[in-house]
């Protein structure tokens, strides 16, 4: 079932499966706000969002495009998360459903970034699993398109002090807080601000990560077309400086992102790129 909904003051689309799993997506940014599976909310959404229609939404799954963070001249994490996307017709087939959201270059984007493109986010739901697929098509006829970005997924956890992430062991690791490079441990724990970029090589590309939160495990996969995974938690002190986060918000979330950070993706004129992230309750 699909129906229109409102979150804050945002127009949304909600998909609901017969088993009760649901996903809620705002038209602003094609931003996934909620994924409920097996009766539990799996994403963190800050209660301190402004919901003013143009400020970035904190939590859920922001689509960062065409720039990751402040690694360029565009607004932080690009402009796609702050602009409205167009929802297509939902496709429902028994216990599976999906809906596509589309965002194309227009006058406001061309002022910021002189490229013709069509971006699409497919939000696909089956029992116990959410798959987000970002497709970017270069509609220019005579120039390449280069971008960085991420599916900036905020996962809900009961207590960050008791949370573990496995599956990145041995990967090249850049600790952005200390600005040091190293190699990832087999198990990641979180005590204080944590902001690290992991380069996925032959050993870890396609390998599922496992987020252990008490008695619940969430499997996290991404397509090899994303070169990196980013793991982020602001920690208590940085969280206190974020106006759109409650002071204790850090304790209830962990970002695990499918990302392209260090080198841009290049799409030739008329070409297309596709990258996905899949979350599975286990």
Using DSSP's 3-state secondary structure scheme, residue 141 falls into: coil
CA pseudo-torsion sign 78, 82, 83, 89: positive
Alpha carbon 42 to its chain centroid, in Å, reads 13
CA pseudo-torsion sign 158, 159, 160, 162: negative
Torsion, Cα of 250, 251, 253, 258 (10° steps): 70
Under 8 Å between Cβ of 155 and 148: no
Under 8 Å between Cβ of 232 and 153: no
CA pseudo-torsion sign 279, 151, 226, 180: negative
Under 8 Å between Cβ of 233 and 211: no
- Structure-block tokens of residue 54: 């143009």
Residue 75 phi/psi, 5° resolution?
-55, 155
* Nearest-angstrom CA–CA distance, 184 and 54: 37
- Structure-block tokens of residue 178: 């200390």
Using DSSP's 3-state secondary structure scheme, residue 238 falls into: helix
- Structure-block tokens of residue 179: 């600005």
Q: Show which residues are catalytic.
A: 152, 257
* Nearest-angstrom CA–CA distance, 163 and 32: 23
């Amino acid at each position: 079932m699909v129906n229109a909904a409102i979150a804050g003051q945002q127009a949304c689309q909600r998909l609901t499966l017969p088993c009760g799993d649901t996903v809620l997506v705002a038209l602003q940014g094609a931003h996934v706000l909620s994924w409920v599976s097996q009766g539990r909310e799996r994403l963190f959404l800050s209660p301190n969002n402004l919901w003013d229609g143009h400020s970035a939404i904190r939590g859920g799954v922001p689509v960062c495009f065409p720039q990751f963070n402040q690694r360029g001249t565009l607004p932080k994490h690009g402009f796609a998360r702050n602009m409205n996307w167009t929802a297509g017709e939902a496709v429902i087939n028994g216990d599976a459903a999906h809906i596509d959201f589309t965002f194309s270059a227009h006058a406001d984007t061309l002022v910021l970034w002189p490229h013709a493109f069509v971006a699409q986010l497919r939000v696909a739901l089956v029992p116990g699993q959410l798959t987000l697929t970002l497709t970017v098509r270069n509609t220019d006829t005579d120039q390449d398109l280069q971008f960085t970005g991420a599916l900036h997924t905020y996962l809900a956890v009961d207590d960050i002090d008791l949370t573990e992430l496995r599956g990145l062991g041995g990967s090249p690791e850049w600790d952005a807080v200390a600005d040091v490079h190293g190699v990832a441990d087999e198990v990641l724990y979180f005590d204080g601000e944590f902001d690290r970029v992991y380069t996925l090589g032959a050993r870890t590309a396609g390998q599922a990560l496992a987020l252990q939160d008490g008695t619940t495990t969430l499997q996290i996969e991404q397509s090899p077309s994303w070169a990196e995974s980013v793991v982020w938690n602001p920690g208590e002190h940085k969280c206190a400086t974020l106006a759109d986060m409650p002071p204790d918000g850090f304790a209830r979330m962990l970002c695990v992102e499918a990302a392209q950070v260090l080198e841009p993706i290049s799409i030739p004129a008329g070409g297309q790129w596709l990258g996905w992230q899949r979350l599975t309750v286990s």
